[in-house]
Each structure stands twice: as structure tokens, then as C-alpha cells.
A = this chain, B = another copy of it.
Amino acid sequence: MNKMKIVVDMLGGDLGIAATYSGLEAFIASHPDVEIYAVGTANVLNSLKNVKVIDANQNVKMDAHAMELLHDKESSMAKAFETLNKENADAIVSCGGTGALLTFASIKVKKLDNVLRPALVSPIPTLKEGKKTLLLDLGANNENKVEELVSFAKMAKVYYEAVYGKDPSIALLSNGTEEGKGSPLIQETHKVLKEAKLEGFVGNIESSELLKGNIDIVVTDGFTGNIALKAIEGTGNVVKFLLKDMFKKSLKNKLAYLLVKKDLKKKLTMLSSKPLGGAMFIGLKKVVVKAHGNSDAIAFKNALETAYRSVKGDLVGKISEGASHE
């Protein structure tokens, strides 16, 4: 078997190349079997051993339109996708902007023939330690049809089995748990999944239950998924802000902070998406992993691990076989 090849876009993250460098270095140490193509500032990356360096010095533009993005061939993301195709690599990992990554992935990688629409999927944190819930679509689509949601459920099921090695439970995100609840889109999708007897399908889940970790896969359209995910992230950030404010308020509170500091950090990390290995754009002919924009070294290493496990588990081949919408 040929060596696995992963292309790594080292620029575009909020914390700069120092974070991605350390993350990649740690990944390489535990995966000497992977061929790495690192795209970024060459005079920094050259000190990494056993890595092919492609020099690039520009971040991809945020909020640029598709045409603009594709014309700008100098960004590290553009060069990374060029490398992905030229070297026929298996996976690409980037912490550059989601919009730009979706544009490049759609045009440069192409979707699998049997897939209606690719989707952005990510593990979200849960109350159960070590337990991950996959949520999709998170914004690759603005609007979805019933058959697309059905296909998302099937793709995510394949993803879960390939990456976590277990049969998942699957639910639809809705505004009530009963069968008749939800937007017309959700009501109809519920009916189709039930009639199709999709293995693991358990019905609807409300967004208040998302973080409890009782369901393995939660399916929704791209618009709603994005709203739910950002509401969770936003609330988490507000809580951190309130706690910080409180612990700084008085000498007494500062003392309390010193007493709980370590445990508090651990608990709040449970609510952070950083340790979860990034989001993934599934339904394409290659593995495309989106690391969080503010990834530190650990988060970036975890994103690389996600790419690695997905290639090892033959995610692309399995979605190609198993998640047909027919």
C-alpha cells in the first residue's frame, strides 16, 4: 500500500504559523507513516523533518467572492489545493476561512457522483466525557431539500462508522420531539427516514438536548445547523466572559479562582470545540478537514488526526458505496 498523503495549509489561522507548526510537529512524531505536504512560509517549515514544503506567504482572503478566490493563486489555500491534486494526495487540512475552503473544495475536489450535496459536519462537545455528537449540515448549504437531508443522514452514518467504529443513533433537529413537529422540511424528512427504516434513526431531538450526548448524529439543514452551532458557541463564550468577570471582582473571588482554576479549565474545555478535531466537508472525492480558525497546536493536531482516521477508515470510498441517495 502506498503511503498516505496529507496536504497541510499552514497559514490562515488566527494564531499564525507557530500554532500549526507545533501541531504538525506533534502529529508527525506519532505518525511517521504519513507523507506530509506543508504549504506555508518555507524558511519556517524547512526545519521540520520528513516534510515536503511548498512555499506560500499569503493567507487566503476572508469574505472574498468565489471568482476572486480562484484567481488568487498565491494564497496558501490555493497552493494547498493545487498540491492536493498534483500529488494525488488523500486529504487536506486547513484552518483558513470556512467560506473559502468550501469554495475551493467544491471546485477543486468535486463531489462524489452519488452524493446530492456535500455537507459540513463537526463533532460537538457533550456532557458525557469522551462522547461526541456529529452535527450536520453546519452551513455548506443555505437551503436543503428532503432528499438532501436523507443523504446527509446516510453520509454521516458512514462517517461515524468509519471514524468511530460504532453504529450510531441518528436524529433530526426539530422544535419538538413528537413525529408531527418541525418545519415542513423536517416533518417530511422524518416520514421518509421512518419509512426507509434507516438503521439507528430515533426521531427528533430539540436543540436544548444537543449537548447532552444522548444521540450520535443530528441532522439538519445548513442554515439551521449554523444557527444552532453558533448559538451554543456564543452562549459558551458569554458564560466564560461572565465567569472571568466574576472571578476578577474581588480579592475573595480571586482566591476562589485559584482554588478551582484547574478544575474549572477542565470543565470549560468540555464545552470547547477545540479538542474535537475540526469540521469536515463530506461527500467529496478527497478528505477535506476544516480546523477551527483559532486552533492552537493541540486543536490543529486533532484536525490532522481526523484527516488521518478518515483516510485510514476509507471514508471517501465508503460514502461512495454506501450513502447513495437512491
Contacts and interface: CB of A to CB of B under 8 A. Distances in A.
Contact of A142 (B182, B223, B238, B247): B182
Contact of A208 (B237, B249, B263): B237
A271 interface: yes
Given A183-B223, A208-B230, A211-B234, A253 B246 contact: no
B222 A175 contact: yes
A74 B259 CA distance: 55
A200 interface: no
Give the interface SS of chain A, mostly helix, strand, loop or mixed: helix
Contact of A236 (B143, B184, B226, B239): B239
B256 A127 contact: no
A180 to B, nearest CB: 10
Interface in A98-140: 127, 139
Contacts of A228: 207, 227-228, 231
A89 to B, nearest CB: 30
A276 interface: no
Contacts of A192: none
B267 A242 contact: yes
Interface of A: 63, 127, 139, 142-143, 173, 175, 178, 182-184, 186, 206-212, 220, 222-224, 226-228, 230-239, 241-243, 245-247, 249-250, 252-253, 255-257, 259-260, 263-264, 267-268, 270-271
Q: Give the top 7 A-B pairs by smallest Cβ distance, nearest first.
A: A208-B234, A231-B231, A175-B226, A235-B235, A256-B259, A256-B256, A208-B230
29 contacts: A63-B178, A127-B238, A139-B175, A142-B183, A142-B184, A183-B223, A186-B223, A207-B226, A207-B230, A207-B234, A208-B233, A210-B231, A210-B234, A227-B228, A228-B231, A231-B232, A232-B232, A235-B235, A235-B236, A235-B271, A238-B271, A246-B263, A246-B264, A246-B267, A247-B260, A253-B263, A255-B256, A255-B259, A259-B259
